[in-house]
Amino acid sequence: MESATTSAALGVIAGAAPTTASASLASLWDRVFGTQPDPDQWVVFATAAVALAVVVPYRPWRLARNAITIAHEGGHGLVALLTGRRLDGIRLHSDTSGLTVSRGRPTGLGMILTAAAGYTAPPLLGLGGAALLAADHITALLWLATGLLIAMLVMIRNAYGALTVIVTGGTFLLVSWLTGPQVQAAFAYVAVWFLLLGGVRPAFELQAKRRRGGAGDSDADQLSRLTSVPAGMWLFLFHAVSLCSLIGGGRWLLGV
């Protein structure tokens, strides 16, 4: 009788373990992919003001522009892989410049899309982030950003670049794991506003450099050589994508 009782007790414990694990997995799934409450409207406007205060003045922009460079080079790298090119590595530099090296045909659609992906990546990522926030998937946005940064880290080939991506990804991870809904919402809205607003400025900076005779090997100039379309037209495309993303994403964030 004692042996039967012990066996029954072990069966109950064994049966409880999968149930507990399943409950924990379901809880994690709901936490990441479930919806979170909308922040107050003043939070949306306040986070937009914070992002604007980072993007417009030179000194904070000089530091924060590293995040735009991550998105820019990440865009080159992702499209290179999607178009069948071999991605050799990504470098991020302390002057906020970057370099993505891929192998494949030096001409053709894959190379054109890869070259065009840099300046368009930050505003398009901001637009995608705005869509997630409008659907109340705040935590999912933070985890998706963390996943993309981890994937990008594998391809980083210099110490400064690795440090920048680790710090950025670690910040997203800590906020998503350790903070409550209101803090997560405020952080996510700042990040998306920053991508939307910060995605506009680089094209204007490139335009100013080209007007002064610099940036002769910019993405726009490379695209011009690849397609015989004037670099000014590619600049117009960069402006159009960033401004349209800002307008569309801003409307989603503001709920209008």
CA distance 68 to 125: 10
**pLDDT above 90 covers what percent of the chain?**
77
DSSP-assigned letter for residue 156 = B
Q: What is the pLDDT of residue 17?
A: 54
Rounded CA-CA distance 241/246 in Å is 9
For the segment 204-209, the average pLDDT, to the nearest whole number, is 93
Q: What is the mean pLDDT of the chain?
A: 89
**pTM of model > 0.75:** yes
Pairwise CA distance, residues 83 & 116, whole Å: 13
Dihedral sign (CA 175, 181, 186, 190): positive
Across the chain, which distance is largest between two alpha carbons, in Å? Answer: 93
Average pLDDT score over residue span 191-204: 97
Higher pLDDT among residues 6 and 64, named by residue: 64
Determine the pLDDT at residue 29: 53
- pLDDT above 60 (res 2): no
Q: How many CA atoms lie within 13 A of 255 on its CB side?
A: 12
Report which of residues 160 and 1 the model is more confident about.
Answer: 160
- pLDDT confidence of residue 139: 93
176: exposed, middle or buried (C-beta count within 10 Å: 0-12, 13-18, 19+)?
buried
Average pLDDT for 8-17: 48
Which pLDDT tens digit goes with each residue over 32-49? 666 777 888 999 999 999
Predicted local confidence at residue 217, as pLDDT: 85
Output the pLDDT for position 12: 45
pLDDT tier, 224 (very low <50, low <70, confident <90, very high otherwise): very high
Within 88-158, residue ranges assigned H as helices are: 109-134, 138-153
Rounded CA separation 65/48 (Å):
17
What would the pLDDT profile of 108-165 be if each residue is shown by its tens digit? 999 999 999 999 999 999 999 999 999 999 999 999 999 999 999 999 999 999 999 9
> What pLDDT sits at residue 13?
47
Question: In which region does residue 101 sit, left (phi positive, over 0), alpha (psi from -120 to 50) or beta (all else)?
Answer: beta
Q: From CA 168, how far away is CA 176, in angstroms rounded? A: 13
For 29, counting Cβ atoms within 10 Å of its Cβ (0-12 exposed, 13-18 middle, 19+ buried), the class is exposed
pLDDT of res. 111: 96
CA distance linking residue 213 with residue 97, whole number of Å? 18
DSSP-derived 3-state class of residue 168: helix
- What local confidence, expressed as pLDDT, does residue 214 receive? 76
Residue with token string 């800590």: 174
Q: Helix 109-134 and helix 138-153: axis angle, to 10°?
A: 150
Q: Are 189 and 43 in contact (CB under 8 A)?
A: yes
